Amino acid sequence: MEASINLQPAQKLRVVHLADHTGRLQVIFPESNMLDISAVSRITKRRFEPVNHYHVSGDPLIKPNSVNTLLEASMLKESVFSIRTKVGGQYRNITSAELENMFSGPLNRFENISINAQLIKPSVENHEDDEEQILEALGRFQSIRLKQRIEETLEIPPLPASSHRIIRLSTDKSAGTDELCEVIALDPSLAAQVISWASSPYYGAPGSIESVEDAIIRVLGFDMVMNLALGLSMGNAFQAPEDGPRHYEDFWLDSVSNAVLMEALVKSMPVQDRPKLGHAYLAGLLHNFGYLAISTILPPHFSILSRYQEANAHLPSDVIEMQILHFTKEQLGSWLLRYWSLPDNIWMAIRYSKKPHYYGEHAMLAKLLYVSYQLRHNGTIEPSVLLEIGLSLEEAESCRDQIYQKSAELHKMVALINKMNA
């Protein structure tokens, strides 16, 4: 394939490999689009799944006419694209006529297999409208009998008793270490997790940690233990998903990594702008709570969503969620946390964590979640947001790199959580 000459920068094409029990299929579509797996199934009368679990840049191009290939039909109407033949390779320009000629054999078809991502309706702007949007979305799922409110429509797990106690304690301004120890001691598994956390190499505390009181006074502090215990106990309300995206390593590893990065970012901020450290940690720990909620409450739809995320790793998760579910995990997760009476700043920060230009109440915590997410996914961070939280890009990346250097210790901490929740 020769590069076309004197062509302006063109839209990139994305290559994804799918397979079922009888063979493989290559699909090619514009990078600005979302692959519609259901459309592929309708066209082929087969049920394909992505072969590679996670490629932001897409799969390598298989030699034309050597494998069945579906190409997005709308590409025939454009003039020029760019494509690469291997992951990490250089993009090369190609006209639509050249593309049509390359894939003119009997194994290839041009069909409508993708959706322009810009045409996918975004979530509502205001959290006060979330319940209405979620209920409207649930009405599309025929297997769900709708009622007037979300909690009446969905089978939402009850909030664990330990979480109720910790939330009540958090509103008591006179509460101290003794009261917190008493509450955590009522849940032996939770107490063991807190002690193990404080004993982990990540914190490097001298000597052994033998009690929750030790964990509070010597290592973690009152607020940290309060919010860590609350996050861990709430996570116990849900089972870890069994049919999630195959590139998604572990819910708790993602949550803990985000929490400790939030902690590091807050400590690096100017003192006068810092939110409460414990609240930043808890928001980081619960940032993906909607993911657990979807997997538990809507398992068939969660499985479908997971396959779409694997095939469309180049797109933001909320875009894919809006197309498949018609609401986002941030909407459902924040609604659930609000329903369970968590502090407003926690659920509101999670709700607006994908909106860097949100300037409403608790915006600072929301922006920190946005920065943390972008750092962990190697995304571009809008300079204005860094300015607002008082950090340079170099300072923010340094926080991330410090966390990565302790990844072995984080894995051990997460292993303790998974073991106790098994």
Does any domain span residue 249?
A: yes
Q: Over the stretch 6-26, which tens digit does the pLDDT of each residue have?
A: 445 688 999 999 999 999 999
Residues 148 and 86 in one domain: no
Residues 16 and 144 in one domain: no
With bands split at pLDDT 50, 70 and 90, how would you rate the model's confidence at 249? low
Residues in the chain: 422
CATH for 358: 1.10.3210.10
Does any domain span residue 202?
A: no
Tokens of 205: 């505390």
Does any domain span residue 311?
A: yes
Residue 54, H or E segment = none
Q: Over the stretch 105-138, which tens digit does the pLDDT of each residue have?
A: 999 999 999 999 999 999 999 999 999 999 999 9
Residues 102 and 131 in one domain: no
With bands split at pLDDT 50, 70 and 90, how would you rate the model's confidence at 2? very low
**Average pLDDT rounded to a whole number, residues 398-421:** 86
Look at residue 8 in the predicted model and tell me its pLDDT: 53
**114 φ/ψ angles, rounded to the nearest 5 degrees:** -145, 165
Does any domain span residue 6?
A: no
Residues 107 and 242 in one domain: no
316 CB neighbour count, 10 Å cutoff: 15
With bands split at pLDDT 50, 70 and 90, how would you rate the model's confidence at 204? confident
CATH for 68: 3.90.960.10
Packing angle of the helix pair 222-235, 251-268 (nearest 10 deg): 160
Residues 106 and 242 in one domain: no
Q: How far is CA 324 from CA 53, 158, 327, 370, in A?
A: 19, 27, 8, 23
Look at residue 259 in the predicted model and tell me its pLDDT: 94
**Average pLDDT rounded to a whole number, residues 399-410:** 92
Does any domain span residue 174?
A: no
Q: What is the CA radius of gyration of the chain?
A: 24
More confident residue, 416 or 259: 259
Q: Distance between CA atoms of 203 and 345, rounded to whole angstroms?
A: 27
Secondary structure of 254-297 in HEC code, one letter for each residue: HHHHHHHHHHHHHHHCCHHHCCCHHHHHHHHHCCCHHHHHHHHH
Residues 79 and 148 in one domain: no
Q: Distance between CA atoms of 388 and 356, rounded to whole angstroms?
A: 10
At which of 76, 99, 119 does a domain end? 119
Look at residue 26 in the predicted model and tell me its pLDDT: 96
Secondary structure of 72-139 in HEC code, one letter for each residue: EHHHHHCCEEEECCCCCCCCEEEEHHHHHHHCCCCCEEEECCEEEHHHCCCCCCCHHHHHHHHHHHHC
**Average pLDDT rounded to a whole number, residues 314-337:** 95
Q: Tokens 């998760």 correspond to what residue?
A: 317
Q: Distance between CA atoms of 318 and 179, rounded to whole angstroms?
A: 40
Residues 140 and 50 in one domain: no
At which of 99, 119, 139 does a domain end? 119
Q: What share of the chain is helix, strand, coil (3-state, %, to 5)?
A: 50, 10, 40
Residues 142 and 82 in one domain: no
Cβ-in-10-Å burial (0-12, 13-18, 19+) of 382 comes to middle
Look at residue 232 in the predicted model and tell me its pLDDT: 87
Q: Distance between CA atoms of 141 and 150, rounded to whole angstroms?
A: 14
Does any domain span residue 328?
A: yes
Does any domain span residue 349?
A: yes
DSSP string for 21-52: TTEEEEEEEETTEEE-HHHHHHHHSS--EESS
Look at residue 1 in the predicted model and tell me its pLDDT: 46
More confident residue, 52 or 215: 215
Does any domain span residue 69?
A: yes
Strand partners, 114: 35
Look at residue 247 in the predicted model and tell me its pLDDT: 55
Residues 139 and 40 in one domain: no
Residues 133 and 52 in one domain: no
Q: Distance between CA atoms of 167 and 196, rounded to whole angstroms?
A: 22
Residues 310 and 397 in one domain: yes
Q: List CB contacts of 212: < 8 A, sequence separation 6 or more.
A: 180, 181, 184, 185, 191, 194, 195, 225
**Average pLDDT rounded to a whole number, residues 67-96:** 89
Q: Distance between CA atoms of 334 and 64, rounded to whole angstroms?
A: 47
Q: Which domain holds residue 245?
A: 127-154+238-421
Residues 279 and 411 in one domain: yes
Look at residue 6 in the predicted model and tell me its pLDDT: 44
Cβ-in-10-Å burial (0-12, 13-18, 19+) of 403 comes to buried
Q: For the chain, how many structural domains are there in total?
A: 2
With bands split at pLDDT 50, 70 and 90, how would you rate the model's confidence at 45? very high
Q: Distance between CA atoms of 156 and 235, rounded to whole angstroms?
A: 13
**Average pLDDT rounded to a whole number, residues 207-230:** 90
Residue 4, pLDDT > 60, answer: no
Q: Distance between CA atoms of 46 and 65, rounded to whole angstroms?
A: 20
